[in-house]
Amino acid sequence: MSTPANPTTGIELKLNNGQVIKAESIEEALKTAVKMVEDSTSYARETNKKLEDLQGQFSVVQAQVAAATARKEPSANGFDKDRYYQLLHDDPLAAANYVDQVRYGVEDPVRYLQTMDTKLSALEGSSLAAGFQAAHPEFPSDEDSARTMTARVIELTRQGHPADFATMELAWSQLVTEDKLKPMELEETHEEPPPPSPGGAGGVIPDAELQKVEKMTDAELQAYLRSKGMLG
């Protein structure tokens, strides 16, 4: 009994996508083709899933960027709450500076406050110096004395004394005691006493008596003035 020839031996299939399947039989070629289709379908599913995931992530990022870049209208005083809260999260010190920028209407509130403090300190110092000079006209007016006084006041304030008139008095007293400053000698002024009034102690001559004085002779007037202590 002879064995019939096998017509399926050496099968070669060419697919539409150009791929070629070589197999020993039709059954084997079909299995290979099915496996290729299944693999392609699985790959397509995985690819679609990755694309969907990427699209979802991109949508989330887009939403975050839109929320971060969106700006609401600032309030009537120019204060932007969104910006403040973002700064508060990122840099609390910058958030505090932003509040001061809006409050004082300046770009650099730190420098502005430092400048104001310097001006106030200078004004207070000038006021104290003027008050001290008015109370102590004997204070030397030369620059060296002023520098010595200033240095002593600074030294006392660093020791904890307040920058006030009492501290300047203390500095002056110390420097005079230490003979580092010498008060100027002031010229004494003598005021001439006012001349006695014709009315004596009372200072007023009654009208009736004044009429009598007007009618007196020279001898009578001299006698009258002696009686009032106005002539020796």
Predicted local confidence at residue 201, as pLDDT? 45
Judged against a pLDDT cut of 80, whether residue 96 lies above it is answered with: yes
Judged against a pLDDT cut of 80, whether residue 156 lies above it is answered with: yes
Predicted local confidence at residue 229, as pLDDT? 63
Q: What residues does 20 pair with on adjacent strands? A: 14
pLDDT tens, residue by residue, 60-73: 777 776 666 655 55
Q: Model's pTM, two decimal places?
A: 0.36
Give the single-character DSSP code of 20.
E
The Cα 46–Cα 38 span in angstroms is 12
Residues 6+ apart with CB under 8 A from 159: none
The Cα 77–Cα 70 span in angstroms is 20
Higher pLDDT, 139 or 196: 139
